[in-house]
Amino acid sequence: MEKLIVDYTAVAVNTGGRKGHVKTDDGILDFEVAMPKEIGGEGGKTNPEQLFAAGYAACFGGALASAAGKTSLRDSEIKVKVNLGHYGPDSFGLGVDIEVKIPHAESLEQAQKLADLAHLHCPYSKATRGNIEVTVKAV
């Protein structure tokens, strides 16, 4: 594996875990987090899965812009669904479904090719490849 040449480092600090607080070192993000109601929490605040989905969607969008070539991405959308689940009573995991909408693609097949190319190069996709199930579908 090649050595990573670092261009930027994001720093966030959590206190209190899933029922706590998250803050970035620059203070731009500074908020409480909570467990979703669906898994026994109080809800009403963001959670790690939402943050992961937001970061993945934005990163994937950047990779799609690199892959698009002359295809217009106007009105395009990347929807990332992060699924939290379990393999057994004490083994939790994530899965990701990515839906890519490219209205100005020549065809759904071309949109899928661009989505697949973006998935190949997106840093989040590289980080998760082989670790969690990720599906990418042009819609």
End-to-end Cα, the chain, rounded Å: 34
**Contact status, residue 139 vs residue 100, Cβ threshold 8 Å:** yes
pLDDT tens, position by position, 111-123? 999 999 999 999 9
pTM attached to this predicted model: 0.94
Radius of gyration of the chain measured on its C-alpha atoms:
17
Give me the residue spans of the domains in the chain: 1-46, 47-138
Structure tokens at 89: 């009573």
What letter would DSSP give residue 128? H
Pick the CATH number of 47-138 from 3.20.20.60, 3.40.50.300, 3.40.50.720, 3.30.300.20: 3.30.300.20
- Provide CATH code, domain 1-46: 2.20.25.10
Whether residue 98 has pLDDT greater than 90: yes
In angstroms, the Cα distances linking 56 to 19, 20, 35, 113, 114 are: 22, 22, 20, 19, 16
Structure tokens at 58: 């934005």
The whole-number pLDDT of residue 89 equals: 86
**1-46 and 47-138: identical CATH topology:** no
pLDDT tens, position by position, 34-92? 999 999 999 999 999 999 999 999 999 999 999 999 999 999 999 999 999 998 888 99
The whole-number pLDDT of residue 54 equals: 98
Whether residue 1 has pLDDT greater than 90: no
Please provide the average confidence, as pLDDT, over all residues in the chain. 96
Give the position of tokens 């890519």: 100
The whole-number pLDDT of residue 88 equals: 87
